[in-house]
């Protein structure tokens, strides 16, 4: 949980050589951003890495591919708000 009351839910696991992750940042039950690497959205340059911003329908490229990068993004975002 972060200082603004938002929360990050983390799933990151490996099956053999295949890694699957989902980092779900939410506040009050509402999606802020979810990063994941589900093999959808082949048109994105960062495929399979992508993020859903405030909605399942707003799909964007993502350079954040691990927990450290996602945490850095969240901390910088929260610092801008204060």
Number of domains in the chain: 1
For residue 64, tell me if it sits in a domain. no
Is the pLDDT at 44 greater than 80? The verdict is: yes
Is the pLDDT at 81 greater than 90? The verdict is: no
For residue 13, tell me if it sits in a domain. yes
Contacts of 18 (CB under 8 A, 6+ apart): none
Confidence grade of residue 36 (pLDDT, cut at 50, 70, 90): very high
For residue 77, tell me if it sits in a domain. no
63 vs 61: CA distance, rounded Å: 7
| 3-state class (DSSP) for residue 75 | helix
Average pLDDT of the residues of the chain:
95
Please state whether the predicted TM-score (pTM) of the whole model is above 0.85.
Answer: yes
7 vs 55: CA distance, rounded Å: 16
For residue 18, tell me if it sits in a domain. yes
Nearest to 35 by CA among 53, 19, 17: 53
Range of the domain at 23: 1-40
Is the pLDDT at 68 greater than 90? The verdict is: yes
What percent of the chain is predicted at pLDDT more than 90?
93
For residue 30, tell me if it sits in a domain. yes
For residue 1, tell me if it sits in a domain. yes
For residue 45, tell me if it sits in a domain. no
Is the pLDDT at 14 greater than 80? The verdict is: yes
């Amino acid at each position: 949980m972060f200082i603004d009351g938002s929360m990050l839910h983390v799933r990151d696991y490996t099956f053999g050589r295949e890694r699957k992750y989902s980092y779900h940042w939410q506040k009050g039950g509402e999606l802020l951003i979810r990063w994941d690497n589900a093999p959808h959205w082949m048109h994105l340059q960062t495929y399979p890495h992508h993020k859903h911003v405030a909605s399942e329908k707003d799909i964007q490229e993502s350079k954040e591919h691990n927990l450290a990068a996602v945490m850095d993004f969240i901390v910088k975002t929260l610092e801008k708000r204060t």
